[in-house]
Amino acid sequence: MEILEILLSENFWAAALRIATPLIFGVLGALICEKSGVLNLGIEGIFAAGAMAGWMAVWLGADLWTGLFFAALTGAFFGFIHAILTVPLGLSQHVSGLGITMFATSVSYFTYRTALPQVSSPPRIEPFQPLDIPILSDLPFLGPVLFQQTAMTWLALFLVALVWWVYNRTPLGQALRAVGDNPDAADAQGLSVYGLRIGAIVAGSACMALGGAFLTMSAFDAFFFGMVNGRGWVCIALVIFASWRPGKALLGALLFGAFDAFQVRLQTEVGAFLPSQVFLMAPYILSIFALVIVARRAEYPRALLTPWFKGQR
């Protein structure tokens, strides 16, 4: 059976993990924002900005890690704008977030066009290479799946563990969870609700931008218009799927990655009978189904979307 063959191939799982990597960054970033009580719909634009900034820094001569740093910094900048609008000013998180998406996307395209007015084929950079770890890379099955990914995939997996640790094992994590559940509780204990929320949005947005940077610095080697292609929105859905837990977020991203990798392979198998758009649609439809099943039990941060103002109760 061909489908079984696909599911058992090393190639398929390696692709699933690779497709999942930007989503892991994105879903973690969205999770960090939302756990503090603020929805960040700027994610789609922050992805584009991260992709642009990281790639451009490297193209201008920086090394890859400096490029990543610039990508994160760009994300943090847009996150900070969103944070100021939604936290101390208490404006609509939806409107501000969508505004950030449009703003960040346009600024990225504009910068690209200004820097390269006449190029038809985008200039390439030398992207992150697969980390070849001796011995481990030669393991059957696991070797190609796990140990031939780029450093950014490892960074994403490390961030999952880090975020889990912060939320479950540190006082900072407790404080961040408290402002997302009942900001009054945090305020009454002398914590700064504004500080915690702004910090969370800035950190979360930096993380989202790394997801964007993965696209131009690891998955591909150049910047294209429209390359984010809805990945940010998928992350917003995946956070709900994950019920705001880092471990489940990883699972959700992998699941989506697997769906996507599967549809590409299925296209070559049975592509003759069905138009290719049906396959492109598949991961999204499957995600909606997964969401419907899981989201009813999701535990929302109670203060999500609710602005909090000092001195008002």
Partner 1 sequence: MNNDTVLCLNNLSKRFGTIVANESVSIDLKRGEILSLLGENGAGKTTLMNMLFGHYMPDSGSIQVANVQGELAPLTLGHPQAALNAGIGMVHQHFTLAENLSAIDNILLGSESLFAWRRSMGAAREKINSIMLRTGLNAPLDTIVGQLSVGERQRVEILKALYRDARILVLDEPTAVLTPQEADTLFANIEVMTKDGLSVIFISHKLREVLAFSHRIAVLRHGKKVGEIATKEADEKIISRLMVGADTPSTPKEVLDVGAPVLQLIDLCAPGTSARSSLVRANLTVCASEIVGIAGISGNGQSTLAKVISGLTRPTSGRLEIDSEPVLTYTPASLLNAGVGRIPEDRHHDGVIGAMSVSENLAIERLDSSDIQKNGFLRKKKLKLNAQKLTQKYDIRGPGIESETRLLSGGNIQKLILARVFEASPKVILANQPTRGLDMGAVSEVGKRLLQARKRGAGILLISEDLDELMALADRIIIMHDGELHTAPSHDRAQIGLIMAGEIS
Residues that bind partner 1 (CB under 8 A): 169-172, 174-175, 177-178, 180-182, 184-191, 299, 301-302, 311, 313
CB of 76 to partner 1, least distance (A): 18
What lies within 8 Å, CB to CB, of 292 at 6+ separation is: none
Q: Cβ distance 104 to 80 under 8 Å?
A: no
- Comparing C-alpha atoms, which of 281, 231, 276 is closest to residue 29? 231
Nearer to partner 1, 226 or 311 (CB): 311
The count of C-alpha atoms lying within 13 angstroms of the C-alpha of 4, restricted to the half-sphere facing its C-beta, is 1
CB of 155 to partner 1, least distance (A): 19
Nearer to partner 1, 131 or 305 (CB): 305
Please state, in angstroms and rounded to a whole number, the distance separating the CA atoms of residues 3 and 144: 20
Nearer to partner 1, 26 or 183 (CB): 183
CB of 35 to partner 1, least distance (A): 9
Q: Which two tokens stand for residue 10?
A: 């090393």
CB of 170 to partner 1, least distance (A): 6
Nearer to partner 1, 175 or 258 (CB): 175
CB of 311 to partner 1, least distance (A): 5
The torsion angles phi and psi of 11, rounded to 5 degrees, stand at -55, -45
CB of 242 to partner 1, least distance (A): 15
Q: Which two tokens stand for residue 294?
A: 């899981």
Nearer to partner 1, 36 or 263 (CB): 36
Residue 229 Cα to chain centre, angstroms: 13
DSSP 149: S
Please state, in angstroms and rounded to a whole number, the distance separating the CA atoms of residues 143 and 264: 22
Helix count (H) and strand count (E) of the chain?
Answer: 13, 0
Q: Cβ distance 55 to 189 under 8 Å?
A: no
CB of 236 to partner 1, least distance (A): 20
Nearer to partner 1, 134 or 171 (CB): 171
- Comparing C-alpha atoms, which of 223, 213, 295, 211 is closest to residue 257? 211
Nearer to partner 1, 147 or 308 (CB): 308
